[in-house]
Chains A and B, each alone.
Chain A
Amino acid sequence: MKAWEFFLNNRTEFFTLVWQHLALVAISTSIALLIGIPVGIMLTRKPRLRAPVLGFANVMQTVPSLALFGFLIPLPFIGGIGARTAIVALVLYSLLPVIRNTVTGILGVDASVREAAVAMGMTDRQVLFQVELPLAASVILTGVRVAVVIAVGVATIAAAVGAGGLGTYIFRGLRANYNPLILMGAVPAALMALAADFGLGLLEKRFDFKTRRASAESNKGLRRLVWAALALIVALGIFAAWRSGRSSDAPASHAHVTIGTKDFTESVLLGEMVAQMLEARGVEVERKYELGGQLCHNALVAGSIDLYPEYTGTSYTDILHHPPMTDPRAVYDQLKQEYAQKFNVEVSAPLGFENTFAILVRGEDARKFSLKTISDAVQYTPRWHAGFGQDFKSRADGYPGLARAYNLRFAESPREMDLSLTYRALASRQVDFIAGNSTDGLISSLDLVQLEDDRHYFPPYEAVFLLRRDALARVPELNEVLAKLGGALSTEEMRRLNYEIDGNKRDRREVVREWLKSKGWV
């Protein structure tokens, strides 16, 4: 039911994602066919190349998809973020079944039939197009079917590199720990795969000469239908490629801004604030939300987005690779200078709140032991269990440093789990001590208490916008919008907005619109 309501409220977005998903699959399948079938034919003529080429395609398919995306991102021309990278990866995955089945299909043609064809005086080309390919067609179609089904599945992961598609819902749902959202992505994707499998399976069966009979007069029509279907896939691919090509040309125009965000609620909310304020001023906005890892930074430097929300501490340590520093003013000044020099990027005024690591305990424990600071808790922790997200457990400015700074000890080695699960684990008493995000809406709704970092171990994580200077010059409205947002958000306010999304499952655009209205900015 919830999934249905969600669907009704998000129809436009849903259909955009479905379209993106279909486009990814159609483009990549077309390219895989255009490359795979000729390569397969070539391999039947050059047996010596068969092992190395099939080996390469085989290896490509065994690379885990996320890892493949990871490899592709830093590459010039074929890498980067967005649909292009996703398509390259999907093509690499789809190649193997297409090439392999082309080879198998052609080599599987009865030797006496091929001999007869040659002996009748057919040219190589005629043997290929009139005998080998038609007889191999059903086997090749099986390969296409496998390729399409793989592509539909892998395309869900494409969301991680900002290529959109139904994976966007799956990732968003996983992060928000919200099953209806996961289903909204997974079910249509699964249906798409089943439909492709079934449809191409039907086609393949009809295309199999072994079942052909004189009575089946519709053969000619059917064959035409198959070619029409294949042509449609390719045409759809080309059209989609043209469309996406056109939209990626767009940022060059005058009043157009591309906004990126990281892959969590708060980042998206901040991006959406700027988006709506710009739109209210007649600026055209393109949203490239929910980019994973350091994609935002790479995209900003590469010019595929114009701005994104960032945290000063993250920029300072993760991007500029400085050792952590605790003075917020010094960090901010250093950032402003280095970003301008290195990347020609401007750092906006801090938005007012910090999203630092928040050391959290249950409210009742805090009251019982009257805990205010992390130092207060140190004497109790040897009897406690801790749970941390993977990120915090391992990074330099995470648990190892924290344990050293406060001389922390626990009953056992802290458990490593998904960040979103640590809150629930704490509330349900499976652990007693976690590191969350200070602005997380769940903090107040689950009655959790943040312990103060009294030794100033954590570097400052002030929220700012990073934006390209050329965008600032091109769209003067940006100046005005970012000036308004400076200092506008307190930690409590941000926490409340986050909770509207993660706790109350409300629509992001709507929450942002309300907030902007309450400020009188739209």
Chain B
Amino acid sequence: MPAPVNNSVLVEFRNVGYDVLGTSQPIISDLNLSVMRGETLILLGESGCGKTTTLKLVNRLLLPTSGEVLVEGKRTREWDAISLRRRTGYVIQEAGLFPHFTVERNVALVPSLEHWDEARVRVRVHEMLELVGLDPEKFAARYPRELSGGQRQRVGVARALASDPPLLLMDEPFGALDPLTRASLQKEFAELSRSLQKTVIFVTHDVREALLLGTRVCLMSRGRIALLETPENFLRSDERNARAYVETLRLDDSVLSNAGRGE
């Protein structure tokens, strides 16, 4: 791993453990991890491996039971939870849009909470909608239930970006979409995050998505880091879990070549 440039670490986990009273196994143990400014770090793993918990430790939805999580060099327990969250974008599966707000009000949420003046909010909302490929004229006044799944997810991204936070947390944002929509959103998002220079922590169980979007991939297993590598090195790794994931890609290839022979 190349040595981090000065002040280039945005989020740091120091010996972090998290467990819930009454359960025998900790959800996370001994987690040490630095997230660099501008990178997209993927947390990859099976359900229950601790990746979503890791994400929630960053914006203080959870506090570690041991060790420290630092954001911009400051411990999360010392951050004011509200201001930490307002400068951290958050996108979840199914978007979590407010069903009683229009698209416009959903996107405007954090700027409004931060008391931006109305005109500025309006301009910003329109910018954001255009950025995620939605025509403001057409979509601003709609309610989430009048949108397709992909459109909702685009609004979710627009909402997370609206106050221009340096850090974006994404928890399987494209997990519930159909394969075609997912593929096009993944591609657009890859371009978007590169052009915006955001730091992104991205949770997924889809190895293709991980390799496609990640600057680095952090493979988690049973609450610990199994492997932390760039996509290239991930493919070459002989770590047991990583190989199992890479195997699934080979399987996809064999399906393709099989279908190709049939033609």
Contact = CB atoms under 8 A, between A and B. Distances in A.
Interface in A116-130: 116-123, 126
Given A115-B92, A116-B92, A135-B99, A213 B109 contact: no
Overall SS of chain A's interface: helix
A134 B101 CA distance: 10
Given A112-B94, A213-B146, A120 B109 contact: yes
A-side interface size class: 20 to 34
Nearest to B56: A119
B98 A131 contact: yes
B113 interface: yes
A116 B97 contact: yes
A443 B159 CA distance: 84
B99 A113 contact: yes
A112 B85 contact: no
A112 B96 contact: yes
Contacts of A122: 82, 113
A75 interface: no
Contact of A119 (B59, B93, B94, B97): B59
Contact of B85 (A110, A121, A134, A210): A121
B14 interface: no
Contacts of A126: 113
B100 A209 contact: yes
B100 A118 contact: no
A121 B93 contact: no
A45 interface: no
B96 A214 contact: no
B113 to A, nearest CB: 6
B146 A119 contact: no
Contacts of B88: 119, 121
Contacts of B70: none
A212 interface: yes
A110 B96 CA distance: 8
Nearest to A116: B96
A113 B96 contact: yes
Contacts of A120: 85-86, 90, 109-110, 113, 159
B135 to A, nearest CB: 13
A117 to B, nearest CB: 7
Interface string A94-124: 0000000000000000101101111111110
Interface string A134-145: 110000000000
A212 to B, nearest CB: 5
B183 interface: no
Contacts of B255: none
Nearest to B159: A120
Contacts of B110: 120-121
Contacts of B102: 214
B77 interface: no
Contacts of A118: 61, 85
Interface of A: 110, 112-113, 115-123, 126, 131, 134-135, 209-210, 212-214
Complex A-B, nearest 10 residue pairs according to Cβ-Cβ distance, in ascending order: A116-B96, A121-B85, A121-B86, A209-B100, A119-B90, A112-B96, A214-B141, A214-B142, A134-B100, A121-B82
7 contacts: A119-B88, A120-B113, A121-B84, A121-B88, A121-B110, A126-B113, A214-B142
Given A116-B90, A134-B100, 11 more contacts: A110-B96, A110-B99, A113-B98, A113-B99, A119-B85, A120-B85, A121-B84, A121-B85, A135-B100, A209-B100, A212-B100
